[in-house]
């Protein structure tokens, strides 16, 4: 239904993910060598008999004792050395990929600001049942952008993310870019991601968070810096009252029905803050937290009865007449 998008830690698209993938490769190939050696030793022991079968059950020959001692000590030493190497390499990778700020999750916000990499784009991601609120922070309030479920980032620039949760524990995981980071109610966690090449990278909530945990996806869209700047400027623009009559009718449906109680559309008197911001809904690829393509038909089905698509989702079903539905779809389709 949805185009398959890269969601694999084995296909890294950022510096942190590359280190993690290299760690995986190292552990995999080391384990593969150990496996081959162990199996070879086992086969050798099973098929290479020097003595006749009539050997006493307990062999008291001191030469056998000595050989056993050498073999067991050698295997134990090799195991300890390999585990130590794993431990040191793992510490090294963990230290390298961790955002320094992540080590101080209890620190104050101002301190965390200082610890974000220089020139980083600052974003706040808040997890809700079952979608992601994404806010681009800026010291100028009018230059902040709010969107949902689609994190657009410039290629080659670090993105310092502050994570918070609006309800239960979630976990942010875009395998192609970085490891997991939990979103814990009542505290702020941090992670700095960076995409090395343009593309769309899929992620999912990685901590069970209720009925629709499995349908809580997000996409990271990495664009070249100039395209990102264009996108950002477009997102800053508020919506205005549509000129054509069908869309205007749709706006009145939106404002007069339960929609406006929860959703925000900048520029219009719809300022609910508890559901995804719809100011630029039509510019997003998916709806319902990355589970449906953003087409007119899917949007219609979602508006009429979200409970059939995501049972338990916080959006109630909406009984709309065909005329109202047609109008509201035209209106939402115009929110670019």
**What residue ranges bind other proteins (CB under 8 A)?**
256-258, 260-262, 274, 305, 307-308, 311-312, 314, 316-320
Write the CB contacts of 165 (distance below 8 Å, at least 6 apart in sequence): 126, 127, 128, 183, 184, 185
Nearest distance, CB of residue 292 and other proteins, angstroms: 17
CB contact at 8 A, 191 and 183: no
Q: Which is nearer to other proteins, 320 or 329 (CB)?
A: 320
Task: Give the CA dihedral 32, 37, 41, 47, nearest 10 degrees.
Answer: 70
d(CA 311, CA 69): 63
Q: Which is nearer to other proteins, 218 or 309 (CB)?
A: 309
Q: Which is nearer to other proteins, 191 or 270 (CB)?
A: 270
SS (H, E, C) 201-245: EEEEECCCCCCCHHHCEEEEEEECHHHHHHHHHHHHCCCCCCCCH
Nearest distance, CB of residue 165 and other proteins, angstroms: 13
Nearest distance, CB of residue 311 and other proteins, angstroms: 4
Nearest distance, CB of residue 278 and other proteins, angstroms: 16
Q: Which is nearer to other proteins, 95 or 311 (CB)?
A: 311
Nearest distance, CB of residue 319 and other proteins, angstroms: 3
CB contact at 8 A, 258 and 312: no
Q: Which is nearer to other proteins, 320 or 330 (CB)?
A: 320
Q: Which is nearer to other proteins, 136 or 302 (CB)?
A: 302
- Per the rule left: phi > 0, alpha: psi between -120 and 50, beta: everything else, 121 is beta
Q: Which is nearer to other proteins, 131 or 173 (CB)?
A: 131
Nearest distance, CB of residue 286 and other proteins, angstroms: 22
Tokens 């800053």 label which residue? 236
Nearest distance, CB of residue 335 and other proteins, angstroms: 21
Strands (E), 31-141: 121-128, 131-136
d(CA 267, CA 238): 5
Q: Which is nearer to other proteins, 148 or 160 (CB)?
A: 148
CB contact at 8 A, 304 and 317: yes
Tokens of 39: 């199996």
Nearest distance, CB of residue 212 and other proteins, angstroms: 10
Which parts of 98-151 fold into alpha helices (H)? 109-115
């Amino acid at each position: 239904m949805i185009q398959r998008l890269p969601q694999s830690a084995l296909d890294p698209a950022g510096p942190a993910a590359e280190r993690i993938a290299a760690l995986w490769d190292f552990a995999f190939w080391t384990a593969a060598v150990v496996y081959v050696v162990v199996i070879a030793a086992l086969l050798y022991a099973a098929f290479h008999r020097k003595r006749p079968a009539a050997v006493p059950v307990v062999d008291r020959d001191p030469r056998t004792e000595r050989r056993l001692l050498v073999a067991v000590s050698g295997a134990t030493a090799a195991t300890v050395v390999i585990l130590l190497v794993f431990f040191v390499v793992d510490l090294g990778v963990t230290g390298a990929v961790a955002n320094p700020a992540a080590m101080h999750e209890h620190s104050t916000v101002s301190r965390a600001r200082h610890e974000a990499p220089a020139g980083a784009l600052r974003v706040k991601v808040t997890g809700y049942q079952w979608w992601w609120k994404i806010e681009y922070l800026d010291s100028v309030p009018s230059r902040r952008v709010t969107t949902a479920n689609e994190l657009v980032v410039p290629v080659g620039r670090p993105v310092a993310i502050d994570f918070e949760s609006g309800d239960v524990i979630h976990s942010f995981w875009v395998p192609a870019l970085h490891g997991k980071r939990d979103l814990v109610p009542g505290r702020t966690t941090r992670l700095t991601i960076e995409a090395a090449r343009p593309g769309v990278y899929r992620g999912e909530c990685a901590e069970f968070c209720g009925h629709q945990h499995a349908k809580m996806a997000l996409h990271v869209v990495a664009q070249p810096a100039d395209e990102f700047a264009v996108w950002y400027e477009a997102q800053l623009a508020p919506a205005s009252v549509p000129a054509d009559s069908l869309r205007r009718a749709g706006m009145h449906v939106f404002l007069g029905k339960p929609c406006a109680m929860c959703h925000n559309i900048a520029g219009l008197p719809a300022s609910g803050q508890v559901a995804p911001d719809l100011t630029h809904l039509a510019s997003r690829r998916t709806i319902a937290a990355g589970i449906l393509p953003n087409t007119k038909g899917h949007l219609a089905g979602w508006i009429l009865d979200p409970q059939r698509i995501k049972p338990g989702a916080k959006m109630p079903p909406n009984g709309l007449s065909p005329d109202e539905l047609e109008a509201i779809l035209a209106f939402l389709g115009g929110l670019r």
